Amino acid sequence: MQIPEKLSEIIKIAKKVCVLTGAGISAESGIPTFRSGGNSFVWKGMPFEQISSAQMVRDDLDAVWEWFDYRRKIYKDCQPNAGHIALADWENRFEYFNLITQNVDGLHERAGSKNVLELHGNINHSKCERCEKVYEMSAEDVPHKPETCEICGEKVRPDVVLFGEMLPFEIFQKAENKSRDCDLFFIVGTSALVYPAAGLAEIAKYSGATLIEINPEETPVTSFCDFTLKGKAGEILPLL
């Protein structure tokens, strides 16, 4: 792909860069999206949206953990791709760089990114709902551990945002502030359908940032992007 000369010049002088990534960048590493073509993955008779819901945590936490441990087992064999690695390099390239992701797979950190705002949490973290202590698990911890909180004895749950839950206020507020205060905003591998995360691109655009989309397909934000680079993140990001 030929990168537009004007975009190359803009990137050269940029000081404040913000990137929002979605499921597309991780799909290139073999991470299943669980929702595609209008269909939803079914786990033991339950649609993805049901087994990954706050209601299921209340009704059957053991079933939720069985599902998340299954996903973690898949994820541990997936490796960061060239897109993840390019973004990790950008931390040293730009004076101010912020990476925001909707993904829970932890591939950005494994690629070397140090400061990632994980809007939806991390599949390798668990937390206690009573005292809110967070536990970090290794990829080898399948099934998960610990099962109960070492402080209060309550069962722990996956530390991810489930259907029926709000995004963590503090993390999303940081993401909003970073989006509002950048020269360039990249929206990479996301359908731009899931709000409020999709609204970050709009915040950046209306705050004066140049908006660049990287995606194989058109999305709802394509029409108001300044540049649209059609293709895979793992192929395009290294070119930039």
Boundary of a domain, candidates 160, 183, 217: 160
User: Pairing between strand 42-43 and 46-47?
Assistant: antiparallel
Average pLDDT value for residue range 8-12: 94
Residues 85 and 66 occupy one common structural domain: no
Q: Is the dihedral of CA 217, 220, 221, 227 positive or negative?
A: positive
Number of Cα atoms under 13 Å in the Cβ half of residue 179: 27
79: pLDDT confidence band, cut at 50, 70 and 90? Answer: very high
In the prediction, which pLDDT does 39 show?
A: 59
Is residue 120 among the annotated active site residues?
yes
Average pLDDT value for residue range 164-171: 94
Q: Give strand ranges (E) for 31-115.
A: 35-36, 39-40, 42-43, 46-47, 96-101
Question: Residue 43 pairs with which residues in a beta bridge?
Answer: 46
Residues 136 and 231 occupy one common structural domain: no
Least confident of 79-83, 96-100, 119-123, 216-220: 216-220
Residues 131 and 49 occupy one common structural domain: yes
Residues 132 and 111 occupy one common structural domain: no
Active-site option among 84, 108, 120, 144: 120
Residues 84 and 182 occupy one common structural domain: yes
In the prediction, which pLDDT does 38 show?
A: 53
Average pLDDT value for residue range 10-22: 96
What's the pTM?
0.93
CB 86 within 8 A of CB 162: no
In the prediction, which pLDDT does 232 show?
A: 96
Residues 40 and 26 occupy one common structural domain: no
Residues 64 and 183 occupy one common structural domain: no
Boundary of a domain, candidates 160, 181, 211: 160
Residues 39 and 67 occupy one common structural domain: yes
Angle between helices 199-206 and 169-180 (to 10 degrees): 30
Residues 70 and 84 occupy one common structural domain: no
Residues 112 and 211 occupy one common structural domain: yes
Tally of domains in the chain: 2
Residue owning tokens 């698990």: 137
Residues 146 and 203 occupy one common structural domain: no
Residue owning tokens 């912020």: 98
> Cα(125)–Cα(110) distance, rounded to whole angstroms?
14
Average pLDDT value for residue range 212-220: 94
**How many other CB atoms are found less than 10 A from the CB of residue 15?**
11
Give, for 210, the enclosing helix (H) or strand (E). Answer: strand 210-214
Q: Which amino acid is at 197?
A: A
In the prediction, which pLDDT does 1 show?
A: 80
Residue owning tokens 């690695």: 85
Tell me the CATH number at 142.
Answer: 3.30.1600.10
37: pLDDT confidence band, cut at 50, 70 and 90? Answer: low
CB 126 within 8 A of CB 156: yes
Q: Does residue 107 carry a pLDDT above 90?
A: yes
Residues 58 and 140 occupy one common structural domain: yes
> Cα(42)–Cα(63) distance, rounded to whole angstroms?
13
In the prediction, which pLDDT does 230 show?
A: 96
In the prediction, which pLDDT does 35 show?
A: 64
Boundary of a domain, candidates 108, 140, 160: 160
CB 110 within 8 A of CB 80: yes
Q: Which domain holds residue 146?
A: 33-77+126-160
110: pLDDT confidence band, cut at 50, 70 and 90? Answer: very high
